[in-house]
Amino acid sequence: MRVIDLAVKDWRQLLRDRQTVFFMAAMPILFTLFFGLIFGSAGGETDPRLPVAVISADSSSSLSGSLLSLLEASEAVRPVVEEGVSAEEAGQWVRDARYAAALFVPAGFGGTVEHLAEGKAERLASNGTIAGDEAMQATLIVDRSTPAGQTAASAIETAVTRLLSAAQIARLATEAFEASVPFEDQAVRQAFHHQALASASEAWREPPISVAVEQAWAAGEDEQSQPNAFAQSSPGMIIQFTIHGLMMTAMILVLERKTGALQRLLPTTMTRTQIIAAKVLGSFVTVFAQQALLVLVGQFAFGVDYLREPVATLAVMAALSLWVTSLGLLIGALARTEEHVHTWSLVAMFFFSALGGAWFPLEYTGKAFNTIGHLTPAAWALDGFQNIVMRGLGLQSVLLPVGIVVAYAVVFFGLAVWRFRFE
């Protein structure tokens, strides 16, 4: 009971401090809005598909245009047309995770496809190339060892297959028409063929029948879970400002030590373990309540669908609260003055927010930064949130991030207890 009384006292002190309440509640909401506007141009939706660089030297061909159109219709990849890029540069982009894949379309590619459609055997090479005419093969640069690479390759192969199919349909349609009504001349025949090709390609953009793919271990995305710009900024700011919230935990500890109140607790028959437990409880509930508020604001004000997987969201929130509480306890144990708490808390907040991807998606930063970022628990906590709100995944997808964040919490807590001082 006294553990709860001591925790309640901490909450009461915290709520009396208007500046702290402002920083814990209002500031993260404002920053979520600010970063959301930056990421999503006035709150518009972002494109969550994997970016694929398309470097085309066959711009005059309508078939190359159809390929681009089919890729744009893909639910998995988002084509980004790049120009004047060498294979080395494109390869580097893929290695840096800037693009999931890079597709080189050579001059004459469209002609090759038409040639294939006229009856020559086509072949989709398993080594990452799309082979047709040896001289006109398109080249796909992709890392098939990554899920993103596999998804991108699969989507591009599908688009190329559809392109070939559309070309064949156009050829068959032209020949069938020609058998019944001969064309006046070659130009009319060509125009008919182009029209048939365009119609077949368009038909592939939205096939009338498709197979709905559902992951066995995660709920698929539904309309409401389509991520928006706030799906990056909301969890990012939750992480940044819960880390900022640890300042209050540490500050209360330092002030209690400075006034002697912490030491005064010892002759009251409370044990040291009970006192530390009360401090942990007070901080945990504070950070958790702060997150709950920000999650609800994210859900209902910014349309970030945390509640589509409530158990997974709660698991990430609890793990993040544990880690932030442990870090706050550690800073409170080590700091001797209020200035120490201010400085160290801000350093912790900026360090973990920047490296953890709270300000910008780690996917945009390249492989090295991404790897370094994932040495921090902040990045894993963010992964947990984003698996839910951006990737449409479920409880199983957050188990690893939650486990890693909890492991960090245990380490930080051990250090804090080891260094804890009452005077």
Partner 1 sequence: MRDGTAIRIRDLHKDFGDVQAVRGIDLDVYEGEIFSLLGPNGAGKPTTINMLSCLLEPTQGEAWVMGHSIRTDSMAVKEAIGVVPQETALYPDLSARENLTFWGKMYGLRGAALRQRVDQVLETIGLTERQKGRVDKFSGGMKRRLNIGIGLLPRPQVLFLDEPTVGIDPQSRRNILDQVKEFNRQGMTILYTTHYMEEAQELSDHIAIMDYGKLIACGTHEELVKIVGELDRIELTINAKSERVLAGWQATQGVHEVSAEDSKITLLVDDSNVVLPRLFEAAVGAGVRITAVEVQEPNLEAVFLHLTDRALRD
Which positions lie near partner 1, rule CB under 8 A?
1-2, 5-6, 9, 12-13, 16-17, 259-261, 263-270, 422
Give the nearest distance from C-beta 1 to partner 1 in angstroms: 8
- Whose Cβ is closer to partner 1: residue 195's or residue 337's? 337
Give the nearest distance from C-beta 249 to partner 1 in angstroms: 15
Rounded Cα distance, 76 and 55, in Å: 19
Give the nearest distance from C-beta 275 to partner 1 in angstroms: 10
- Whose Cβ is closer to partner 1: residue 4's or residue 368's? 4
- Whose Cβ is closer to partner 1: residue 5's or residue 75's? 5
Three-state DSSP at 406 gives helix
Give the nearest distance from C-beta 229 to partner 1 in angstroms: 39
- Whose Cβ is closer to partner 1: residue 271's or residue 343's? 271
Give the single-character DSSP code of 270.
-
Dihedral, CA of residue 25, residue 30, residue 36 and residue 38, to nearest 10: -150
Give the nearest distance from C-beta 267 to partner 1 in angstroms: 5
Rounded Cα distance, 140 and 161, in Å: 14
Find out whether 138 and 116 touch, Cβ atoms under 8 Å.
no
Q: Convert 93-137 into a string of H (helix), E (strand) and C (coil).
A: HHHCCCCCEEEEECCCHHHHHHHHHCCCCCEECCCCEEECCHHHC
Task: Please count the CA atoms within 13 angstroms of the CA of 47 that sit on its side-chain side.
Answer: 13
- Whose Cβ is closer to partner 1: residue 268's or residue 343's? 268
- Whose Cβ is closer to partner 1: residue 129's or residue 274's? 274
Give the nearest distance from C-beta 19 to partner 1 in angstroms: 12
Three-state DSSP at 21 gives helix
Rounded Cα distance, 222 and 208, in Å: 19
